[in-house]
């Protein structure tokens, strides 16, 4: 195994650590690790990312279930349109994207570059969400749970489409929606988010099984290390302030997003 591959597999642990510490960010790390460190095609990497993040999030959500910090009604309201969107996107939309996406003379915009550039823009949006002050959101922890059904369903569909296209779990979108639209306490929002991410990511992955051959040995080994990471992250979360860590991670994601944009636009 080459040094870069060792670094790539080691980085899979950080994916789980991120999910265990802040309830999101796993997919932000997964796709760049698979593409840049392990040399896997971006289209295939988005599918692998769904499985890795989905499985790891499912393991992490079990701990929140035991603590009764998962709101199943909120998860259901958000998930149904999200499930449909992610499955349809992986099954029909992604395979239908032409390759190249656009060409004019010597300029050729490939499908792989398009996916990575779009993912970089998502990273920039995620970094802004994690860096900015969220005091106004986190203080909504009391009062009855009231669901804004149309808005929750709409955001569920949007996040599902995003998940299907770039393999991102969308925790940075799901958690604010649960806090603001369903008035869930932050810890319950994180637990519910992990369950939603797990379900829709794994359903999205099912949409890929008929479209590509899966290297199960590699995928299971990579995922197992990520699962180890989520246990480490859950343990460390007892000692590290979540908001401080989230902001630091946000700056890291910002740098990574800029790096990917620069790298993919240097022809």
User: Higher pLDDT residue, 74 or 51?
Assistant: 51
Lowest model confidence (mean pLDDT) among 23-32, 84-93, 100-109: 23-32
Percent of the chain with pLDDT over 70: 87
pLDDT of res. 137: 47
Instruction: Work out the angle at residue 59's Cα, subtended by the Cα atoms of residues 65 and 218, and round it to the nearest 5 degrees.
Output: 170
pLDDT of res. 220: 95
Exposure of 222 in the CB half-sphere (CA atoms within 13 A) = 31
**Pick from 81, 114, 80: nearest CA to 97:** 114
Report residue 136's pLDDT band, with 50, 70 and 90 as the boundaries. Answer: very low
Q: What integer is the mean pLDDT of 237-261?
A: 77
pLDDT of 138-193, one tens digit each?
444 445 556 677 787 888 888 888 878 876 667 767 877 787 777 788 778 888 88
The model's pTM: 0.74
pLDDT of res. 163: 76
pLDDT of res. 227: 92
Which pair of tokens denotes residue 110?
A: 């490939």
CA–CA separation, 144 and 76 (whole Å): 18
Contact yes or no for 203/86 (Cβ under 8 A) = yes
Q: What integer is the mean pLDDT of 133-137?
A: 53
pLDDT of res. 183: 78
Q: What integer is the mean pLDDT of 107-114?
A: 83
pLDDT of res. 253: 77
pLDDT of 20-50, one tens digit each?
776 666 767 888 889 888 989 888 988 898 8
**Pick from 175, 159, 30: nearest CA to 89:** 159
What spatial distance separates the first Cα and last Cα of the chain, rounded to whole Å?
30
Its sign, for the CA torsion 168, 169, 175, 180, is positive
pLDDT of res. 242: 62
Exposure of 37 in the CB half-sphere (CA atoms within 13 A) = 18
71 phi/psi in degrees, rounded to 5: -100, 105
Which pair of tokens denotes residue 120?
A: 């970089």
Lowest model confidence (mean pLDDT) among 4-13, 77-86, 210-219, 245-254: 245-254
- Widest distance between CA atoms in the chain: 60
pLDDT of res. 144: 56
pLDDT of res. 172: 67
Report residue 135's pLDDT band, with 50, 70 and 90 as the boundaries. Answer: low
Find out whether the peptide bond into 100 is cis, omega within 30 degrees of 0.
Answer: yes
pLDDT of res. 134: 57
191 contacts: CB under 8 Å, gap ≥ 6: 23, 61, 64, 65, 67, 69, 70
pLDDT of res. 51: 93
């Amino acid at each position: 195994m080459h040094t870069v591959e060792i670094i790539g597999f080691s980085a899979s642990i950080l994916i789980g650590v991120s999910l265990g510490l802040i309830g999101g960010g796993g997919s932000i790390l997964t796709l760049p690790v698979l593409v840049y460190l392990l040399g896997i095609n971006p289209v295939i990497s988005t599918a692998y990312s769904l499985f890795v993040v989905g499985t790891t999030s499912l393991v992490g959500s079990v701990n929140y279930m035991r603590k009764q910090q998962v709101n199943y009604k909120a998860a259901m309201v958000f998930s149904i349109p999200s499930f449909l969107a992610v499955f349809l996107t992986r099954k029909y939309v992604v395979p239908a994207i032409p390759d190249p996406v656009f060409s004019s003379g010597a300029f050729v915009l490939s499908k792989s570059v398009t996916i990575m550039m779009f993912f970089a823009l998502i990273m920039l949006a995620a970094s802004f969400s994690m860096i900015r002050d969220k005091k106004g959101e986190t203080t909504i922890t009391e009062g009855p749970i009231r669901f804004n059904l149309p808005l929750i369903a709409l955001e569920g569909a949007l996040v599902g489409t995003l998940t299907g296209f770039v393999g991102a779990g969308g925790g940075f979108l799901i958690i604010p929606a649960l806090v603001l639209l369903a008035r869930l306490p932050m810890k319950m929002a994180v637990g519910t988010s992990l369950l939603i991410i797990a379900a829709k990511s794994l359903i999205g992955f099912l949409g890929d099984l008929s479209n590509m051959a899966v290297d199960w040995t590699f995928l299971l080994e990579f995922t197992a290390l990520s699962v180890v990471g989520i246990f480490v992250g859950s343990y460390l979360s007892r000692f590290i302030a979540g908001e401080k860590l989230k902001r630091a991670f946000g700056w890291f994601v910002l740098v990574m997003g800029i790096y990917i944009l620069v790298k993919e636009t240097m022809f």
